[in-house]
Amino acid sequence: MLGGAPLLLANNHVHAESLLEQAEGGDSVEPDEVDAYPPGPSISNLVFARMGENPVAGITRLPVLNFVNFGIPPKDRVAYSLVLAPIIPKVFKGGWGILTRTTIPAVVTVPFGPGQDPMRPVDVDDRTTGFGDMGFEVLGTKQLRGKKKQFYDLGLGPFVGAPSASDDFLGRGRWLVGPEIALGITARQWVTVLIARNEWSVGKNTNRADVNQLWMQYFLFYNLPKLFYLVYEPIITVNWERQPGDR
């Protein structure tokens, strides 16, 4: 997965006030100054970078992600998708907050296998392009202060998936619901976040397969000097509908 640089819009005073203690050489900031986002010279760039890395830290973000999926049958073809995933938080005093994340597969292109499209000859190998299924997440969040200047973010809420694909070939064709949990740790050099949920299809549809899937994504950031960082963001899925060993 390749991720474009997200648009970061500051929308947080509680988390910034906590993370300022981690800044190296950062100036002290009064509460009124922290509320007066966007960040000025008194807000450490290091603090703002740490908040931008953590998707549950209370920053309004617009990540633009490009996914490359290998092994699409038949013949192990390659599929591409461009995904918008805006994150909009509302932070309250005491470290509490509400966060929404909407996943919008804006451009999805999946290869056809020969004979999969009834409108094309069986010997033609082509692909279809359009919109995928959208997902919507709402999390109640809480930040906790740990030892050694570490901060913990906890989130819990529902996930809803909508069958919004522009073509049956690009989506599951089922409404999905399930619980979601988010756990994050912010330290001086590491930022680690895990988002996990289980998705179940709603109702019955004899034309589309039932869904019972575990979905997990974790973000691992290692911060380097001068605000550079290394990042690893894998997505792991487990399909409970399949036989053991093939999930």
The model's pLDDT over 41-53, given as tens digits with 9 standing for 90+, comes to 344 555 555 666 6
The model's pLDDT over 93-141, given as tens digits with 9 standing for 90+, comes to 888 999 999 999 987 777 655 545 444 444 445 677 888 999 999 999 9
Run of H or E including 239: strand 235-239
Q: Please give the single-letter amino acid code of residue 7.
A: L
Per-residue pLDDT at 70: 77
Query: What is the Cα–Cα distance from 189 to 44, expressed in whole angstroms?
Result: 15
- pLDDT at residue 247 tops 90: no
The whole model's pTM is what? 0.73
Q: Is 57 left (phi over 0), alpha (psi -120 to 50) or beta?
A: alpha
Instruction: Report helix, strand or coil for 44.
Output: coil
Query: What is the Cα–Cα distance from 58 to 37, expressed in whole angstroms?
Result: 13
Mean pLDDT computed over every residue of the chain: 75
Q: 127 is written with which tokens? A: 């692909």
Burial class (CB within 10 angstroms; exposed 0-12, middle 13-18, buried 19+) of 208: middle
Query: What is the Cα–Cα distance from 183 to 192, expressed in whole angstroms?
Result: 8
The model's pLDDT over 195-209, given as tens digits with 9 standing for 90+, comes to 999 999 998 888 888
Asked whether the beta carbons of 158 and 178 are under 8 A apart, the reply is yes
